[in-house]
Amino acid sequence: MENVTGNSSRVFEGHYSDLGDWKRGDVDYFVVPQRWEDYTEEEHAIWRDLYHRQMEILPGRAISLFMDNLKELGINDSQIPDFDEVNKVLMKKTGWKIVGVPGPIPVEPFFELLANRMFPVGTFIRTRDQFDYIQEPDVFHDLFGHVPILADPVFADYIEAYGRGGLKAADHNAVYMIGRLYWYTVEFGLIQEPEGLRIYGAGILSSPTESVFSLDSDSPNRVKFDVKRLLRSRFFIDDFQDTYHVIENFEELFEATKPDFLPYYEEVRELPTIQPTELIDSDIVLHKGTGEYAKKAAENRAARKKQKQEAAEKADK
């Protein structure tokens, strides 16, 4: 790993899929110190600007406990939070702690951290050039988006159970299925509160545009949460969701994922994959989307694919 000043410049050559010599049980293999003192004033300024932008949008949109837990955990607009300070509160509330990682890590070590009530948070923060979109989750996405919900005891138990289930899925070639569950709940889930539909997924909570799109747009479908349905549901990683899945409360989420998933995996393997825009007969549809945005997004993906193919053909000549 490069030893540099400024956490946005960190490099980790093994991220995404390289396990190196990691073995199960080596929980700290991918964990790195936050090195809070190395953040530059510009990096703290980026945090403040990202924070302010979201706080203009999220009141009345985010799940009610999100706002309360931000304050209680000391996650505010002053600076990038110190992980140790956040952990002093988070450990008391739910027994979880956040740990630094230098970037995305392979799925099995990720599952193992969750199974041990350790949530990996990227230590780097995006640059100004990446302000509106960054593919790799940074400290803002991970800490601002995920950690306040982890202060809820039921959701905290769900994430631990998900980690244990993920390790089991890895043993049965089902990581892609359980990954869909995480995507549509932890990252892009909606919840029905008495005051109305609200956001609890971190991918939405940390996105100014999807925070509005997910609740206000007529384009996406919104359907009642069903765990087997999610295991079959494909998604795109580079655009808004075409379908959002809505829970009533975290207890519903936790109870639905308690059973042994092995029979589910066998059943799902025999069924067709559900496309992102698709509704199926068993769906409890809360809102049938117009699909207007999805059509434009599909056209854009097709155009990008065509450009990539043409560039490759040109390079081969």
Q: Look at residue 304 and tell me if it is in a domain.
A: yes
Nearest 5°: the CA angle 162, 168, 174 is 90
Q: Looking at residue 185, which CATH number applies to its domain? A: 1.10.800.10
Query: Could you report the per-residue pLDDT of 58-116, keeping only the tens digit for each?
Result: 999 999 999 999 999 999 999 999 999 999 999 999 999 999 998 889 999 999 999 99
Q: Look at residue 303 and tell me if it is in a domain.
A: yes
Residue 232 is encoded by which pair of tokens? 């079959």
Residue 235 is encoded by which pair of tokens? 């998604």
Q: Look at residue 216 and tell me if it is in a domain.
A: yes
Q: Look at residue 41 and tell me if it is in a domain.
A: yes
DSSP string over 104-167: ---HHHHHHHHHTTEEEEES----GGGSS--SS--HIIIIIIIHHHHTSHHHHHHHHHHHHHHH
User: Is the pLDDT score of 315 beyond 90?
Assistant: no
Residue 17: the pLDDT is 54
Structural domain total, the chain:
1
Q: Look at residue 2 and tell me if it is in a domain.
A: no
Residue 177 is encoded by which pair of tokens? 């299925």
Query: Could you report the per-residue pLDDT of 182-229, keeping only the tens digit for each?
Result: 999 999 999 999 999 999 999 999 999 999 999 999 999 999 999 999
Residue numbers of the domain that contains 29: 7-316
Q: Look at residue 214 and tell me if it is in a domain.
A: yes
Query: Could you report the per-residue pLDDT of 256-293, keeping only the tens digit for each?
Result: 999 999 999 999 999 999 999 999 999 999 999 999 99
Query: Could you report the per-residue pLDDT of 231-241, keeping only the tens digit for each?
Result: 999 998 889 99
Q: Look at residue 90 and tell me if it is in a domain.
A: yes
Backbone angles phi, psi at 66, to 5 degrees: -60, -50
Q: Look at residue 212 and tell me if it is in a domain.
A: yes
